[in-house]
Amino acid sequence: MLAAIGVPSVEALFDRQIPEAVRLRRPLELPAGMGEQDVFAHLRALAARNVSAEDELSFLGAGMYDHYVPALIDMLMERSEFLTPYTPYQPEISQGGLQVMFEYQTAISELTALPVANASVYEGPSAVAAAGYLAKLHNGGKRFVLSAGLHPHSIETLRTYAHGYGMEVVEVPLRDGVTDLDAWTRAIDGDTPSGAYPEGHTLKGAGRQVSAAIFAQPNFYGAVEDAAALSAAAKSGSAPRDGAAGAGTVNAPVVIAQVDPITLGILAPPGECGVDVAVGEGQPLGNRLDFGGPSFGFFAAREEYLRRMPGRIAGETKDVDGRRGFVLTLQTREQHIRREKATSNICTAQALNALACVVYLTWLGRQGIVELGELLLARTHYARETLSALDGVEPLHTQPVIREFAVRIDADVAAVKRRCAAEGVNPGVDLQAITGREEDRGGLLVAITEQRSRADIDRLTEVLGAAIAATDQRSASKMVAA
């Protein structure tokens, strides 16, 4: 090979192309390579130091959930033909992948009751930020109004992106566990909303230029929001159209909802509640926990936003012989043709994770997604009832919940969790630790999946009750001693 190239050695290939001053002349300081067996042993040893849902009875949620993933998904995701190809740039030999995208887009459109959906984006919170960018491109507005019921990671991600593309962010508080409708309406109409402005943000000038109004459904605290009312309030009382020259025209704000997809068998879908763009974390649909990723974000919208949607889209067409086929379409919107005018910089779809999603939805089927929803609804209700009956536990709110709920416990949450852990139970997410809100002190977010049976919930009640009592006693005895 070297003879064909015309160089004396492999070294020469680099000597002739890399200036000596930037040439690394020492070995990389990394552990020596190992054979497969030893690598496996090392990775297994690391796995053994993690307490997974396999090792404890887990009620952790807050965006990712321990749902049952059927075996056929594992099998399909490991097939070479789905696992190893690249983005379908040559559609003639990528009809499998393209048709999967088309089917996935159809499934998401059905679930959300919105007509257009893309082939997926990275995950939930960045999908919210991408939807915000779409709104900004659409109407040139200056501000996002968002509900404090959004996932804290979505809020923080949106703030990071918004700082980048120059938008103000205003947060509307909750009341009784759901978005305060009066405060929401006022914030969108441009008056000073009641509630907190975190981190010294202030409204710059009078400005009726709300680009998007964003809420979560169900919200982070598990409560079902009145989505139709929130959407209507965003559209109706909003600023009049600014009819002068071109730029800066503001229409009604784009209504964006971050939705938990597993609830859409029984919960009114965003498309029927006046929502313009529905996004969300797709992990519950056939994807693993994987310590937070990879998963996918879904993105669906009304027809008029089709040409502003970020990410990949698969479209139907015909070949030269009239056969039905699929291609990546509307690619001019993406990064690689429009470059600086692109609707986003996303150049991948989470194709493999979207495959798991569409297979999962197909496996659940039209009846199954309803049955699953009803099961979650009933068990979550039962869990909230039984936990709330414990001493020292009260619900944070009494709104309808579907698969997750929040309680306040009368003891130090971290200490209670440690006691539960010793009994092999993880009772849920420490609310204040993730939201940072003072009013969430003592809060616990409890998630129910179809893998948590009544017996499991009863065990949770037993263990949590004992842990709270023991923690109370410890603090009580400390106080006496002091």
Partner 1 sequence: MAEANYPAELLYHPEHDWARVEDDLATLGITWYAQDALGEVVFFEPPAVGTMLAKDEPYAEVESVKAVSDVLAPLSGEIVEVNEALADDPGAINVDPYGEGWLVKIRLTDPPERDALLDAAAYSATLGG
Partner 2 sequence: MTPVTELELPLQRERARTIFEKGATGRRAFISPRLDVPEVDAEELLPKRFRRGEPPRLPEVSEPEIVRHYVGLSKRNFDLDSGFYPLGSCTMKHNPRLHERVAALPGHARLHPLQDPERAQGALELMWNLQQALAEISGLPHVSLQPSAGSHGELAGVLLTRAYHEAKGEHRHKVLTPDTSHGTNPATVTMAGLEVVKLATNPDGGVDLDDLRAKADADVACLMLTNPNTLGLFDQNIQEIAAIVHGVGATLYYDGANLNAVMGLSRPGDMGFDIVHFNLHKSFTQPHGGGGPGSGPIAVSDRIAPFLPRPLVVRRDDGASGPRPGRRGSPTFDLDYGRAGSESKSIGRLRGFQGNYGCFVRSYAYICSLGGDGLKDASETAVLNANYLLARLKEKSVAEYLPLAYPPARGAGGSLCMHEFVLSGGPMKRELQIKTLDLAKRLLDFGFHPPTVYFPLLVEEALMIEPTETETKETLDAFADAIAEILKEAETDGPEVAQNAPYTTPVRRLDEVAAAKHPVIRQAL
**Restricting to residues 243-272, which ones interact with partner 1 according to CB under 8 A?**
243, 245-246
Q: What secondary structure does DSSP assign to 124-166, as a single string? A: HHHHHHHHHHHHHHHH---EEEEETTS-HHHHHHHHHHHHHHT
Q: Measured in whole angstroms, how far is the alpha carbon of residue 3 from the centre of its chain?
A: 54
DSSP bridge partners of 255:
213
Shortest distance in whole angstroms from residue 250 CB to partner 1: 15
| Nearest of 367, 373, 438, 370 to residue 408 by alpha carbon | 438
Nearer to partner 1, 123 or 334 (CB): 334
Pick what 29 binds: partner 1, partner 2, none; C-beta below 5 to 8 Å, kind-dependent: partner 2
Q: For the chain, how many residues are written?
A: 482
Pick what 438 binds: partner 1, partner 2, none; C-beta below 5 to 8 Å, kind-dependent: none
For residue 286, count CB atoms less than 10 angstroms from its CB and return exposed for 0-12, middle for 13-18, buried for 19 or more: buried
* Binding flag, residue 209, partner 2 (CB under 8 A): no
Shortest distance in whole angstroms from residue 136 CB to partner 1: 17
In this chain, which of 219, 238, 426, 471 binds partner 2, going by CB under 8 A?
A: 426
In this chain, which of 337, 347, 389, 422 binds partner 1, going by CB under 8 A?
A: 337
Give the x-and-dash track for 226-245 against partner 1 (CB under 8 A). Answer: -----------------x-x
Nearer to partner 2, 209 or 238 (CB): 209
In this chain, which of 202, 244, 339, 482 binds partner 2, going by CB under 8 A?
A: 339
Nearer to partner 1, 330 or 434 (CB): 330
Pick what 372 binds: partner 1, partner 2, none; C-beta below 5 to 8 Å, kind-dependent: partner 2
Q: Which stretch binds partner 2 (CB under 8 A): 203-211, 233-241, 363-371, 405-413?
A: 363-371
Residues 138 to 177 in contact with partner 2, rule: CB under 8 A: 151, 153-154, 156-157, 159-161, 163-166
Q: Which stretch binds partner 1 (CB under 8 A): 8-16, 155-163, 273-281, 330-338?
A: 330-338
Q: Which stretch binds partner 2 (CB under 8 A): 45-53, 237-245, 388-396, 473-481?
A: 45-53
- The answer to whether 463 touches 482, Cβ cutoff 8 Å, is no
Shortest distance in whole angstroms from residue 19 CB to partner 2: 6
Nearer to partner 2, 330 or 470 (CB): 330
DSSP bridge partners of 444:
407, 430
Residue 479 and residue 471: Cα distance in Å, rounded?
Answer: 12
Pick what 308 binds: partner 2, partner 1, none; C-beta below 5 to 8 Å, kind-dependent: none
- The answer to whether 126 touches 233, Cβ cutoff 8 Å, is no
Secondary structure (H, E, C), 174-192: EECCEECHHHHHHHHHCCC
- 251 Cβ partners below 8 Å, 6+ apart? 138, 139, 241
Residue 472 and residue 114: Cα distance in Å, rounded?
Answer: 50
Token pair belonging to 228: 């139709």
Residue 427 and residue 416: Cα distance in Å, rounded?
Answer: 9
- The answer to whether 380 touches 448, Cβ cutoff 8 Å, is yes
Residue 123 and residue 215: Cα distance in Å, rounded?
Answer: 17
Token pair belonging to 194: 């009641």
CA distance readout (Å), 165 to 129, 136, 143, 400: 10, 9, 11, 37
Residues 273 to 312 in contact with partner 2, rule: CB under 8 A: 281, 288-296, 306, 312
Residue 180 and residue 230: Cα distance in Å, rounded?
Answer: 9
Shortest distance in whole angstroms from residue 332 CB to partner 1: 5
Pick what 6 binds: partner 2, partner 1, none; C-beta below 5 to 8 Å, kind-dependent: partner 2
Q: What are phi and psi of 332, to 5 degrees?
A: -60, -20
Nearer to partner 2, 17 or 478 (CB): 17
Pick what 198 binds: partner 2, partner 1, none; C-beta below 5 to 8 Å, kind-dependent: partner 2
Shortest distance in whole angstroms from residue 481 CB to partner 2: 23
- The answer to whether 441 touches 414, Cβ cutoff 8 Å, is no
Shortest distance in whole angstroms from residue 214 CB to partner 2: 15
Nearer to partner 1, 201 or 338 (CB): 338
Residues 235 to 254 in contact with partner 2, rule: CB under 8 A: none
| Nearest of 76, 122, 106, 115 to residue 361 by alpha carbon | 106
Pick what 282 binds: partner 2, partner 1, none; C-beta below 5 to 8 Å, kind-dependent: none
Residue 127 and residue 170: Cα distance in Å, rounded?
Answer: 19
Pick what 153 binds: partner 1, partner 2, none; C-beta below 5 to 8 Å, kind-dependent: partner 2
Could you tell me the strand order of the sheet in which 443-447 lies?
A: 393-395, 404-409, 443-447, 429-430
Nearer to partner 2, 144 or 252 (CB): 144
* Binding flag, residue 342, partner 2 (CB under 8 A): yes
In this chain, which of 307, 324, 366, 418 binds partner 1, going by CB under 8 A?
A: 307
- The answer to whether 212 touches 254, Cβ cutoff 8 Å, is yes
Binding positions for partner 1, rule: CB under 8 A? 243, 245-246, 307, 331-332, 337-338, 341
